[in-house]
Amino acid sequence: MSDPSLAAFAPDAARAACPTPATPPRGRRGVVGAGPDALGLLMLWLRRIEQRRKLDRLAREYPSYLLRDVGLRAEDLMREARKPFWRP
C-alpha cells in the first residue's frame, strides 16, 4: 500500500504498512529525543525573535506620524521589541 490514495479504501492496511514509532521512555530524553514539542517551541521562539527585530526596525526607521497613521506608536513598538523571546 505505497500509494497514499489507496489508504482511504484500506485504512487498516495503510496503518499496518506505516506503524507508529515506539514512544521513548519517560524522564530525561536529551536533545535527540526532545520530540516535536521542543521543535515547535524552538520555531515559535525564532519567529518571535524575527518579529521583534522587525518591530525595532520599524520604530527606529519610520517617522512617528507614519506610525500613528496606521494606529501604532513608536513607544509601543519599542516595548514589544524589548521583550525576551520566551515571553508572549
Tens of pLDDT, residue by residue over 63-81, are 999 999 999 999 999 999 9
Query: What average pLDDT is seen over the chain?
Result: 77
Q: For the whole model, what pTM was predicted?
A: 0.56
Per residue in 12-32, pLDDT (tens digit) is: 544 555 445 455 555 555 555
CA dihedral 38, 42, 45, 50 (to 10 degrees): -160
The rounded distance, in Å, linking the Cα atoms of 78 and 56 is 6
